[in-house]
C-alpha cells in the first residue's frame, strides 16, 4: 500500500460550500462570501444521490459554467464535487474540477467504486476523497481506498461522514469514531477529513463534532455552507452561512497536527 498523507499544511484543511449548486447566483454569491471569510477550497454537489426519488437531484452539467465563473473571479480557489460514475468523472475532468469525492452511497458498491477508479486512471495527481460507506463496514471503506491506490492515485483521502442507523439518535448519521480510528491504524499515513454536516444533520451539533475531530487530530473538515441555509434545496437544517461558519471555526481549539 502506498497510501501517503500528501497534505503537509499545519492548519486543518477546510473544504466548504453549499450541499448543492442551485443557481448561478446562489453559487457565485456563496463562493464570494466564503472567499471574503478566508476560505479557498469550495465544495458543491452537482449531481445529488438522493435516497428517495422526487427530491432535488442536483442541477447537473449546467453548474460547470457557474463553477468556471467562480474560478475566474477567484483564481486561487479550488473546487470539489461528488462523482458517482465514469461519466461524472469524464465531465468533471473535462471541466477542470480540482478535487473529486466519492459519496457514501457509492462507496458501498465495489463495482461502482471500481468503475470510478478506472475512470481516474492516468490522473494520478488529482485529489480523490472517499466518504465512508453509509453502513458501518470498515472493510468496504478500506476496499474503496485500495481500489484507488491500485490505479495509482497519489492524493487519496478519507472523509468520515457518519453511519446510518435505525436506532433513535441525536445524530443524522452516528459518528462511531472507532471506525475512522481503526481505519487510521490500518493506514497510518492516510489523510483523514471529518464531515460534521452529514453526521450532525442540524447546525446545533456541528461545533461539538468539529471540535472532537480536531481533538482527534483529523487533517481537516468538510462542512456545508450556504448564503441562506434555510432556503437550501438540500440539507437546509445543517448548513451555516459563511460568516457563521467562520465564527464557529474560530471558536474551535486546534492542536497542532502530529501526523
Ligand atoms: C453531500 O456531501 O452532500 C452528500 C450527499 O454526502 P453523503 O454522501 O455523505 O451523504
Ligand atoms: Mn449534503
How does 176-212 read in b/e, with b if 16+ C-beta sit within 10 Å? bbebbeebbeebeebbbbbbbbbbbbebebbeebbbb
Ligand 2 centroid–CA 233 distance in Å is: 10
CA distance 139 to 256: 30
Residue 51 CA, ligand 1 centroid: distance in Å: 11
259 domain-assigned? no
| Structural domain contains residue 255 | no
Does the Cβ of 19 fall within 6 Å of ligand 1? yes
Q: Ligand 1, from 82, 141, 221: best to mutate by most atoms within 8 Å of Cβ?
A: 82
CATH code at position 34? 3.20.20.70
Compute the residue count for the chain: 259
Quick one: which atom of ligand 1 is closest to the CA of 159?
9
Residue 37 lies in a domain: yes
**CA-CA distance, 22 to 24, in Å (whole number)?**
7
Residue 121 lies in a domain: yes
pTM of the entire predicted model: 0.97
Whether 160 lines ligand 1, by a CB cut-off of 6 Å, is no
Is there a domain that residue 47 lies in? yes
Asked if residue 8 belongs to a domain, the reply is no
| CA 62/CA 99 separation, integer angstroms | 18
Atom of ligand 1 nearest to the CA of 106: 8
Q: Is residue 2 part of a domain?
A: no
In a domain, 242, yes or no: yes
- Give the pLDDT of the chain (259 residues) as one tens digit per residue: 678 899 988 899 999 999 999 999 999 999 999 999 999 999 999 999 988 999 999 999 999 999 999 999 999 999 999 999 999 999 999 999 999 999 999 999 999 999 999 999 999 999 999 999 999 999 999 999 999 999 999 999 999 999 999 999 999 999 999 999 999 999 999 999 999 999 999 999 999 999 999 999 999 999 999 999 999 999 999 999 999 999 999 999 987 654 4
**Which residues span the domain enclosing 105?**
13-250
How many domains is the chain partitioned into structurally?
A: 1
Residues around ion ligand 2, judged by CB within 5 A, are 19, 235
Query: What cell numbers appear for 148 in the block?
Result: 484507488
- Which ipTM was obtained for this model? 0.98
Find out whether the beta carbon of 246 lies less than 6 Å from any atom of ligand 1.
no
Centre of ligand 1 to C-alpha 36, Å, is 25
Amino acid at each position: 500500500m502506498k497510501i501517503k498523507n500528501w497534505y503537509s499544511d499545519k492548519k486543518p484543511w477546510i473544504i466548504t460550500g453549499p450541499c448543492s449548486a442551485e443557481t448561478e447566483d446562489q453559487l457565485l454569491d456563496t463562493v464570494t462570501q466564503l472567499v471574503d471569510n478566508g476560505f479557498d477550497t469550495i465544495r458543491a454537489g452537482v449531481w445529488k444521490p438522493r435516497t428517495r426519488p422526487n427530491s432535488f437531484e442536483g442541477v447537473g452539467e449546467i453548474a460547470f459554467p457557474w463553477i468556471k465563473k467562480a474560478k475566474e473571479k477567484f483564481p486561487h480557489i479550488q473546487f470539489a464535487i461528488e462523482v458517482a460514475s465514469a461519466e461524472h468523472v469524464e465531465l468533471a475532468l473535462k471541466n477542470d474540477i480540482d478535487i473529486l469525492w466519492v459519496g457514501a452511497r457509492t462507496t458501498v458498491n465495489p463495482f461502482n467504486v471500481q468503475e470510478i477508479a478506472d475512470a481516474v486512471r492516468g490522473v494520478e495527481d488529482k485529489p480523490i476523497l472517499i466518504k465512508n460507506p453509509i453502513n458501518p463496514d470498515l472493510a468496504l471503506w478500506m476496499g474503496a481506498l485500495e481500489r484507488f491506490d491500485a490505479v495509482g492515485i497519489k492524493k487519496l483521502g478519507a472523509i468520515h461522514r457518519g453511519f446510518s442507523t435505525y436506532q433513535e439518535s441525536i445524530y443524522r448519521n452516528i459518528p462511531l469514531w472507532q471506525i475512522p480510528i481503526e481505519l487510521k491504524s490500518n493506514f497510518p499515513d492516510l489523510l483523514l477529513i471529518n464531515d460534521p454536516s452529514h453526521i450532525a444533520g442540524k447546525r446545533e451539533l456541528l461545533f461539538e463534532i468539529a471540535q472532537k475531530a480536531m481533538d482527534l487530530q483529523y487533517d481537516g473538515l468538510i462542512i456545508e455552507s450556504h448564503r441562506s441555509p434555510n432556503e437550501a434545496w438540500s440539507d437546509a437544517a445543517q448548513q451555516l452561512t459563511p460568516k457563521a461558519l467562520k465564527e464557529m471555526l474560530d471558536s474551535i481549539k486546534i492542536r497542532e497536527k502530529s501526523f
